[in-house]
Chains A and B, each alone.
Chain A
Amino acid sequence: MNAVSNRPRVYFIADFNIEMLARLVAHTVVPGAEVATAPFGQVMPALAGAPPGPDWTVVVWTQPASVVDAFHRALAFEPVVVDQALAETRAYAEAIVRFAAGARAVFVPAWVRPPWQRGYGMLDFRPGTGIGHLLAQMNLALAEALRDHPSIFVLDAQRWMAAVGPRGWSQKLWYAAKSPFAPALLEEAARDIGAALAGLDGVARRLVIVDLDNVLWGGVVGETGWQGLNLGGHDHVGEAFADFQHALKGLTRRGVQLAIASRNDESTALEAIDRHPEMQLRRDDFAGWRINWGDKAQNILELLADLRLGPESAVFIDDSAVERARVETAIPEVAVPDWPADPARFSETLLSLRVFDSPFLTAEDRARTRMYAAERTRRVDPAAAGNLEEWLESLDIRVTVEPLSDSNVDRTVQLFNKTNQMNLATRRLSKTELQAWASDPDHLLLTLRVADRFGDSGVTGIAGISIEGARARLVDFILSCRVIGRGIEDAMLHVAIAQARARGATEIVAELRPTPRNGPCLDFLRRSELRGISDTVFVWDAADAYPRPRWCTLYDSPGMAAAVDQ
């Protein structure tokens, strides 16, 4: 199974001239992307064929009248049977599903119609009559028919239309160049496609670092105290700040963490967070903070180190253009959006950022804030100040080993595509590719769920093993940065080697594929009990079990060979 190419490849299929969109993607939104277009207007023949290759992402964009004949007739005000339109819609979806089996992913913009097309006017959303209602039903049927196919994504083209208004549709371009969509709308589409491609690559931002004064609240807390801040209440500016906090809190339910970098006195700022009655965000909503009078760029680097995240994971929001410029220059990998002066625009600016797209939303994403809060508690635990091993034993770490299953596959794909530091091979795989790899009888894919007395960290480890005769190869060794440093790495090696031994392997080999980010994995392998035979290759003689950290209790799930090796 091939790993996904680092250079995005995008294939466009459309019933209109989609070349302008392909060029926008290749030359501006995803510079360096390789793009190709199917012959214009040949949608169904193109879907009946195969994509250029399994590492190509495909955009299939059609106009509803060209693939659903009943809708074409509805546009001419002929009476149509709704069920017939929906059956044609499902047939189109089936063609996309067949085609998607050979592609990395497929993006299908939802159907739209020109803003000037009023249909039946006041009757246009009446069920059984209205063209607008019929189109909405068709879009829902399309989304439903594609719902269970994890590599197919219906993109909301209606939002692109709303964003640019009537100038998004151009009859003149249609007549002159066979593209109904004007550059303004295509730019919106290209940017959403770029965000979705980044999401597939697992490069979504995972942390929003915010300033406090005039960002989370109006005013300067150091001067007025929390009682003098403008937040919530019957004031349009205060309301806007409260709404912005709501929007930030909403992001945490998508797996995005919050942190604070603010020039303030820490105790004064935390008092405001704890005591202001209109605060929507409280201490437990933040994964960490640096509230002091130091340099913000340095504070952000320290925060990222604490949270074990790379700068490419972070977004920094500050009302001061000077601070934004400082961070942008010092840490160019951090996303620093232009920030409006008007608090009324804060929420819309945050929620329109195209940096959080992810192809999955897992239980771990929704619980991440709680997990980070537990990690902060873990770190300030008095026991942590003493002997490390004693502290680790006090944590009551429980590791449950499970095979790949429907219940953990989304999270596993996410770890494959997001994890950089503790990652042996940094293979980036789609769900389809991962499931295909794991279904090989000589391959074994283990997931590790980690919990301790502070909480459940969810699925945080992956070991992929290939049995090659008497030798077993550790293909993947992936551990979320959230649990690094608690001996889970050794527990994972123990489990992987136990599984390989149970299948008759006499030697286990782990070869690191170096990347700019996986130095921590190499450091761990060097520290481990494995024998290094070159700079990047490590082996274990399977005559013996790999030692298990005594502070980890291992559990295996039903149907698995024993995780614990005696």
Chain B
Amino acid sequence: MEREQALRILYETIDVVNQQLPPARRLRKAPETVIVGVSGSLDSLGIVSFVVTLEEKAGEMLGAPVVLLDEATLVAEDSPFRSVATLTSHLATITRG
């Protein structure tokens, strides 16, 4: 998957997850937006919902299952889930044919 495609489905995922958040806490569609981290808007349920939705959208685009949800990766210090930018790179990398 190209980086642009990865970013697009991340933003689509943000649209889905934002419906579960109050307006003041909604995720911005911006590279620096925090997904997992102390300054992020998502609680544990929100993170799971975000990642599963992203997996589903990536899978639909590629026509093959995409697995991203991994607890160890989520909490790692250099977790790719830190921000929209890092997650975009991660998604593009693991889905590159």
What is the chain A residue whose CB lies nearest that of B60? Answer: A167
A27 near B19 with CB under 8 A, answer: yes
Partner of A20, one of B22, B23, B49, B55: B49
| Known pairs A170-B52, A172-B55; A20 contacts B45 (CB<8 A) | yes
**Contact indicator per residue, chain A 13-54, by CB within 8 Å of chain B (1) or not (0):** 000010110011011100000000000000000000000000
Does A182 contact B19, Cβ atoms closer than 8 Å?
no
Which listed residue (A24, A176, A177) contacts B19, Cβ 8 A? A24
Cα of A196 to Cα of B13 in the assembled complex, Å = 27
Q: Does B48 contact A (CB under 8 A)?
A: yes
Q: How far is the CB of B34 from chain A (nearest CB, A)?
A: 19
Question: Which residues of chain B are near A177, meaning CB under 8 Å?
Answer: 45, 48-49
Q: Is the interface of B mostly helix, strand, loop or mixed?
A: helix
Return B79 CB to nearest CB of chain A, in Å: 16
A172 to B55, CA, bound (A): 10
Picked from B20, B21, B56, the residue with its CB within 8 Å of the CB of A182 is B56
Given contacts A172-B69, A177-B48, contact A27 B20 (CB under 8 A): yes
Query: Considering the complex, which residues of chain B in the window 8-34 have a beta carbon less than 8 Å from any beta carbon of chain A?
Result: 16-17, 19-23
Most-contacted residue by chain A among B16, B20, B23, B69 (CB, 10 A): B20
A28→B19 contact, CB < 8 A: yes
State A167–B16 Cα separation when bound (angstroms).
14
CA gap between A27 and B21 in the complex, in Å:
6
Does A183 interact with chain B (Cβ within 8 Å)? Answer: yes
Expressed in whole angstroms, the minimum distance between the Cβ of A122 and any Cβ of chain B is 28
Contact partners of A201 in chain B: CB under 8 A: none
**Interface flag for B95 (CB, 8 Å):** no
Instruction: Mark A299-333 against chain B: 1 for CB-CB distance below 8 A, else 0.
Output: 00000000000000000000000000000000000
Closest chain B residue to A173, Cβ basis: B52
Is B53 within 8 A of A176, CB to CB? no
Q: Once the chains bind, are B52 and A187 in contact (CB under 8 Å)? A: no
Known: A27-B20, A28-B19, A172-B69. A17 touches B45 (CB 8 A): yes
Cα A176 to Cα B45 in complex, Å, equals: 9
A182 to B16 CA separation, bound complex (whole angstroms): 11
In the bound complex, CA of A318 to CA of B17 (Å): 32
Question: From DSSP, what is the main secondary structure of chain A's interface residues?
Answer: helix
B-chain residues with CB within 8 Å of residue A19 when the two chains form the complex? 45
Q: Which residues of A contact B17 (CB under 8 A)?
A: 183
CA of A27 to CA of B60 in the docked complex: distance in angstroms?
27
Q: How far is the CA of A487 from the CA of B20 in the complex (A)?
A: 51
Please tell me if the beta carbons of A24 and B45 are within 8 angstroms of each other in the complex: no
Q: State whether A20 and B20 are in contact (beta carbons under 8 Å apart), knowing that A172-B69, A177-B45 are contacts in the complex.
A: yes
Interface membership of chain B positions 42-68, coded 1 if the CB is closer than 8 angstroms to chain A and 0 otherwise: 000100110011011000100000000
* Interchain CB contact (< 8 A) of B56 among A20, A26, A27, A167: A167
Q: Are A183 and B22 in contact (CB under 8 A)?
A: no
A184 to B16, CA, bound (A): 8
Question: A172-B69, A176-B69, A183-B53 known; A23 and B21 CB under 8 Å?
Answer: yes
Expressed in whole angstroms, the Cα–Cα distance for A173 and B60 within the complex equals 17
Chain A residues near B60 (CB-CB < 8 A): 167
Chain A residue nearest to B56 (CB atoms) is A167
Chain B residues with Cβ below 8 Å from A17 are 45
Q: Report the minimum CB–CB distance from B12 to chain A (whole Å).
A: 12
Tell me which residues across on chain A come within 8 A of B45, comparing CB atoms. 17, 19-20, 177
Q: How far is the CA of A23 from the CA of B52 in the complex (A)?
A: 17
Contacts of B53 in A (CB 8 A): 182-183
Does B48 lie within 8 Å of A183, measured CB to CB? Answer: no
Shortest CB distance B56–A (Å) = 6
Closest to A29 in B: B19
Are B55 and A27 in touch, CB under 8 angstroms?
Answer: no
Q: Mark B63-85, 1 if CB is under 8 A from A, else 0.
A: 00000010000000000000000
Contact between B19 and A173, CB atoms less than 8 A apart: no
- Given B22, B23, B49, which contacts A173 in the complex, CB threshold below 8 Å? B49
Residues in B neighbouring A26, C-beta threshold 8 A: 22
Q: B20, A176: Cβ atoms under 8 Å? A: no
Nearest B residue to A172 by beta-carbon distance? Answer: B52
The interface centre, meaning the residue of B22, B48, B53 with most chain A CB atoms within 10 A of its CB, is: B48
- Residue contact B69 to A23, C-beta cutoff 8 Å: no
A183 lies within 8 A of B69 (CB):
no
* Complex CA–CA separation, A509 to B9 (angstroms): 63
Is the CB–CB distance between A183 and B20 below 8 Å? yes
A17 to chain B, nearest CB (A): 7
Per-position binary interface string of chain A over residues 156-197, scored 1 when its CB falls under 8 Å from any chain B CB and 0 otherwise:
000000000001001011001100001110010000000000
Residue of B nearest to A17 (CB): B45
What's the Cα separation between A35 and B49 when bound, in Å? 19
Q: Output the least CB separation between A300 and chain B (Å).
A: 31
B53 to nearest A CB, angstroms? 6
Residue of A nearest to B44 (CB): A177
Query: Which A residues touch B49, using CB under 8 A?
Result: 20, 173, 177, 183
Residues of B within 8 A of A27 (CB): 19-23
**Quick check: A187 and B19 within 8 Å, CB to CB?**
yes
Which residues of the partner chain B approach A24 to less than 8 Å between Cβ atoms? 19-20
A181 to chain B, nearest CB (A): 11
Chain A contacts for B52, CB-based, 8 A: 170, 172-173, 176, 182
B56 cross-chain contacts in A, Cβ below 8 A: 167, 170, 182
Q: In the assembled complex, how far is the CB of residue A21 from the closest CB belonging to chain B, in whole angstroms?
A: 9
Which residues from B are CB-within-8-Å of A187? 19
User: Is the CB–CB distance between A23 and B20 below 8 Å?
Assistant: yes
A170 to chain B: closest residue by CB = B52
Residues of B contacting A170 in the complex (Cβ-Cβ under 8 angstroms): 52, 56
**Given contact pairs A27-B19, A183-B53, a sample of 9 additional A-B residue pairs in the complex whose CB atoms are under 8 Å apart:** A17-B45, A23-B19, A24-B20, A167-B60, A172-B52, A172-B55, A176-B48, A176-B52, A183-B17
Q: List, sorted by A's number, 10 A–B pairs whose CB atoms are closer than 8 Å.
A: A23-B19, A23-B21, A24-B19, A27-B21, A170-B52, A172-B69, A173-B52, A176-B48, A176-B69, A182-B52
Q: Please list the residues of chain A having a beta carbon within 8 angstroms of any beta carbon in chain B.
A: 17, 19-20, 23-24, 26-28, 167, 170, 172-173, 176-177, 182-184, 187
Instruction: Give the 3 A-B CB pairs with smallest separation, nearest first.
Output: A23-B20, A28-B19, A177-B48
